[in-house]
Chains A and B, each alone.
Chain A
Amino acid sequence: MTAATDYTLAELCIVAASKAFESDGEVLATGIGVIPRLAASLAMKTTNPDLMMTDSEAWLLSEPNPLGKRADDFVPAAETWMGFSRIFDNVWSGRRHAMLGPTQIDKFGQTNTSALGGTYDAPKVMMLGARGFPGNSISHPNSFFVPSHNTRVFMDGECDFVSSVGYNPARLPKGHSLDDIDIRLVVTDLCVMDFGGPDHQVRLVSLHPGVTAEQVQENTGYPVVIPEEVAVTAAPTQEQLDIIAAMDPHNQRAYQIKDNPPGDRS
C-alpha cells in the first residue's frame, strides 16, 4: 500500500491510534470521542477483525456503525445484547481496551476527567467525573487521545484529581503492582508516545510529519524520554482514508482538531 499525500492531521491521528488495537485479539474496543471511535473502527475493519465494538448503546456489532445520522433503512449489524451493566462484567475480565481523551495526564500516566482547580468540595471546573475510569484503569489496557498537546494537559506535578490509576507507586491499590497497570498509546496532535521509558516514564514513539522532538518536550510539563532514532508517524494509505470516509460520512473528524490542519506540516 502506498502512502497518501493528501490527508488531514485528524486522519493521521486516526490511523496512528488504530495501531493501539491491532495486536489486541478478541477484546472490546471502546473508543470514546470521534477520533478514538474511528480508530477502533478502522482497526476492526483492517488489522484486527477479531475486535468487538458496541453501538454505544446496548448491542455488540459485527460491523462498526458509521458515525452520526444514518439512513432510515440502515440496519446495524447487532450480534449480542450488551447493555451497560454487562460492560462491567466485561471490564473485570480485562478483555477490553478503551481509548479516551482525559483533560490532564501527569508524568505517572494518571489522568483527570473529574475536576480542575479549587478544592475537592468546591472545584473551579466540574467535568464529566471519574465514572468507570478507576475500575477500567486497574482492570484493562487504556490509551489516550489528546487533540491539543500542551502543558495544561501534560502538566507539571500531579493531576488535580486522579481519575485513573497510573504508574505511581504511592497510589497503588493494596495487593497490586505496577505490572497490573497497562497504559498503551498516547496519540496527540504532535506525536505518538507511550510509557515505555525507564521506570515507566513517558517516551516518544513517533513524530507527526513536520513536528520536532523539541516541540514535544516544550509542550509537555515533564521530561519525555526521546530515543536516538525517532520514527515519523506513518501516513495513511488511500485504502485507510476510504474506510475512514465511509465510517464518518458527515466528516465529524474535521472538527476534532483546531482548524483541521493538514497531516504533513513540514
Chain B
Amino acid sequence: MPALKLDASLIHADRADTRGVCQIAGPDHYMDDWFARAADKTYVSCDELVDTAFFHDPVQARMVHWERSQTTGVVPVAGGAHPTSCSPMYGFDVPHFKAYTASAKDEAGFKGYLDKHLGASEEEYQQSVGGLDAIRAIELPTY
C-alpha cells in the first residue's frame, strides 16, 4: 500500500521549546511521531512553552519522540488539546463529544456547533466550553 503523503500535521504536545523540541508526557504518544515524519510541515501547539534547558534532564528528554528538524513551528496554547486529552494534564471532554455527535441530527447541524463554539479566537472557544480551568480539571479516563 502506498504511503499517505501529508501536507501538514497538527499536533498538540504537553511541552515544547521554541526550536521545536516537543514533549508528550502522557503514557502514549500514539502515532504523533509518524504524523510528524509523514508531513511536509508539522505545526505543534503545546500546553506549556519551556526553555531548552528543561530538556537537559534526561527524564524529560526521554519523552521527546521526534527530533526538532521534524517540527516546522510551535505555538503555545494552554488547554489546546480540548476536546481531546493531554494526558497527564487533562482528560477528554465526553459531554462535548456527545454534543458534537448529536449535532449531526440537529436542524442547525455542524454550523450550529460552529456558531456555538468556534469564536474568533482560541480564547473565545475556550470560554464557550467553560474556560481553561475547566479544561484542565477534566478527569483522566479509566479504561
Determine the residue in chain B with the shortest Cβ distance to A85.
B31
The proximity string for A residues 38-61 relative to B, scoring 1 for CB distances below 8 Å and 0 otherwise, is: 000000000000000001111100
Measured as residues with beta carbon below 8 angstroms from the partner, the interface class of chain B is 10 to 19
Measured as residues with beta carbon below 8 angstroms from the partner, the interface class of chain A is 10 to 19
Please report which residues of chain B, range 5-47, place their CB below 8 angstroms from some CB of chain A when the two chains form the complex: 26-31, 33-34
Tell me how far the C-beta of B83 lies from the nearest C-beta in chain A, rounded to whole angstroms: 18
Task: Determine whether A83 belongs to the interface, using a CB cutoff of 8 Å to chain B.
Answer: yes
User: For residue B30, which residues in chain A have a CB less than 8 angstroms away from its CB?
Assistant: 83-85
Distance between Cα atoms of A238 and B117 in the complex (Å): 53
Q: Are A68 and B31 in contact (CB under 8 A)?
A: no
Q: Are B28 and A58 in contact (CB under 8 A)?
A: yes
User: For residue B28, which residues in chain A have a CB less than 8 angstroms away from its CB?
Assistant: 57-58, 83-84
Determine the residue in chain B with the shortest Cβ distance to A88.
B31
Task: Determine whether B142 belongs to the interface, using a CB cutoff of 8 Å to chain A.
Answer: yes
Q: Are B27 and A58 in contact (CB under 8 A)?
A: yes
Task: Determine whether A70 belongs to the interface, using a CB cutoff of 8 Å to chain B.
Answer: yes
Distance between Cα atoms of A68 and B143 in the complex (Å): 7
Q: Are B27 and A68 in contact (CB under 8 A)?
A: no
Task: Determine whether A69 belongs to the interface, using a CB cutoff of 8 Å to chain B.
Answer: yes
User: For residue A81, which residues in chain B have a CB less than 8 angstroms away from its CB?
Assistant: 27
Give 6 nearest A-B pairs by CB, closest first. A56-B143, A58-B27, A58-B28, A83-B28, A84-B30, A57-B143
Interchain residue pairs with CB less than 8 A apart (8): A56-B143, A59-B27, A65-B143, A68-B142, A83-B29, A83-B30, A84-B28, A85-B30
